[in-house]
Amino acid sequence: MTEAPTGKRLFLGLLVLTGSLLGGGGLVLWILSRGSEGIHTWFPAVVAALLTGLSGAVLAGIAILVFAILFERDLPGTRRLRGVLIRGLLPPMVAVARLLGIPKDRVERSFVAVNNQLVLRSGAVAPASRVLILLPHCLQVDTCDVRITGDIENCRGCGRCPIAGLLELGRRYGVHLSVATGGTLARRIIVEQRPRLIVAVACERDLTSGIQDAHPLPVFGVLNERPHGPCRNTIVDLERVAEALELLVTRGKRLPEERGAAAGERF
């Protein structure tokens, strides 16, 4: 499963530009701090050391992420840097994109694509019983009078929306499916079901916030399609969901952190 290269290029460009601005900002602060020599002779040296170390760490982390994204190869620390990317670098990247006139949804779409690549490259897999497919309620056709947010199995399978097809996929792979009406319910579902891996279907904004909220839990995002506008009668490519399940659902294997924990228990 590959993502559009243009999305990857956009993300890489913003990542490098944001890192350069952060590094340049550190240099400016260091220059300004030199004016404090008359107050504390040690202050500029301390500030310079801190800013140099911080800028070096940021630039090294960005270099590792760029390498991992560009060449689809993991380097030591890539999985941990995914958290830095999700929590720390995405907000300033969105701000930089806004200054350049790049729509936020384009940045979010590119972020989801890169996140998916990093999840796949990390080797994150889980047994079917520990995989959750998390769906937005807008996939259900708005004229349906059946409530599926509490129990998706209530779906009657009329075929007017993608829910019946997603249920069939869930049964085929043996994974859990849940429908959430918002972020609060989605978080509660995750807490109750305690999955090891999530395949989430949503729009760019909800996928981005969901990936951030669920971290460090791996979330593979599948964008929905909105032929009738946002939050109404949306659809999803069932083949993409099936491809994600083929890559992420396994039997007899565990997530990398589980393997590490098991190895640690032997000592």
104-145: pLDDT as tens digits? 999 999 999 988 988 888 888 899 999 999 999 999 999 999
Q: pLDDT class for 216, splitting at 50, 70, 90?
A: confident
pTM equals: 0.78
Lowest mean pLDDT among 143-152, 182-191, 250-259: 250-259
Q: How much is the pLDDT for 5? A: 42
- Residue 124's φ and ψ, nearest 5 degrees, are -70, 115
Residue 212: strand, helix, or coil: helix
Q: How much is the pLDDT for 226? A: 95
Is the confidence at residue 233, as pLDDT, over 70?
Answer: yes
Question: Cα-atom radius of gyration of the chain, to the nearest Å?
Answer: 22
* Euclidean distance between CA atoms 180 and 36, whole angstroms: 54
- The average pLDDT across 2-28 equals 68
CATH 1.25.40 fits 124-256, yes or no: no
Domain ranges across the chain = 5-120, 124-256
Q: pLDDT class for 89, splitting at 50, 70, 90?
A: confident
Q: How much is the pLDDT for 11? A: 83
Q: What does 25-78 look like in DSSP terms, one character per residue?
A: HHHHHHHHHGGGTTT-TTHHHHHHHHHHHHHHHHHHHHHHHHHHHHH----TTH
